[in-house]
Amino acid sequence: MPHATASWLVDNTALSFEQIAEFCGLHILEVQAMADDLASSKYTGRDPVHSGELTHAEIEKGQNDPEYRLRMQKAPVDVSRTKGPRYTPVSKRQDKPDGIAWIIRNHPEISDAQIGKLIGTTRNTINAIRERSHWNIQNIVAKDPVTLGLCSQRELDAAVARAAKKGVVQADADDATEEVVAPRRDDREALIEELKAQREAATRAASEAAQEAEAEAWLQAKRAAEANEG
């Protein structure tokens, strides 16, 4: 969680922005924005000393020498996910609605099933927040689930990538249907309309021919009657 770690280092150490940016893998302007409270999202600080990624001695070295580059003591623990519901510590469960609201607002392409696996929640809770019928909706504030500790950045990025890939596949399928099926449907309808028009024209022609024949027969009969009278 580089942003959360950088936020903690800004607030709790005298390290330079460049040192913090390099250690956390961020751009120096991002760190500057955190220090100036200009960041669009407020990050909950994450203590790298507590997690074992840094030591107080290492931070002291950096504070005493602006040219010193911090060395990570151990890599962040990457906990692999197992099947089944995600376990969330009791202290973090109250943050779930905030994390769900953030995903719904910022990544609407992520399905409810993916949100459920990512945050460890139910469809009913997700729908309640989406429809703003949640019992505590007035107090829910959208917050990044990564900074809340509900999931890792890698897991969130993977969910976004899967949703994007699914959206592309669906769009391609829709385009294929529009390009292939629609013209066939249009051709069939055009053929049916043409046949109907031909039948109607034939019916009209037959009716007109019958009327003309009937009129001709009547005229001949009238002429024959007049000839007999004469």
Residues 50-69 have pLDDT tens digits of 888 888 999 999 999 989 99
Q: Whole-angstrom Cα distance, residue 89 to residue 229?
A: 118
With contact defined as beta carbons under 8 Å apart, do 5 and 31 qualify?
no
- Predicted pLDDT of residue 101: 93
What SS3 string covers 41-93?
Answer: CCCCCCCCCCCCCCCHHHHHHHHHCCCCCCCCCCCCCCCCCCCCCCCCCHHHH
Q: Read off the tokens for 152.
A: 């890792």
> How do residues 85-114 score in pLDDT, each as one tens digit?
454 554 456 788 998 999 999 999 999 989
Tell me the per-residue pLDDT of 113-152, one tens digit each, with 9 for 90 and over.
Answer: 899 888 888 888 899 999 998 888 898 998 888 888 888 8
Candidates 6, 23, 8, 5; CA nearest to 61 is: 23
**CB of 143 within 8 A of CB of 99?**
yes
Q: What pLDDT is attached to residue 157?
A: 86
pLDDT at 184 over 80: no
Asked whether residue 207 carries a pLDDT value surpassing 60, the answer given is: yes
- Taking a C-beta distance cutoff of 8 angstroms, is the pair 159, 111 a contact? no
**CB neighbours of 134 closer than 8 A, spacing ≥ 6?**
97, 125, 128, 140
Task: Considering only residues 165 and 88, tell me which one the structure prediction assigns the higher pLDDT.
Answer: 165
Among the listed residues 166, 67, 173, the one whose alpha carbon sits nearest the alpha carbon of residue 113: 166
Average pLDDT of the residues in 23-30: 84
User: In terms of Cα–Cα distance, which of 45, 17, 13 is closest to 31?
Assistant: 17
Q: What is the pLDDT of residue 175?
A: 57
**Bigger pLDDT: 9 or 214?**
9
Confidence check: pLDDT of 40 > 50: no
Give the Cα separation of 72 and 55 in Å (integer). Answer: 9
3-state secondary structure of 134: coil
Token duo for residue 208: 């007109």
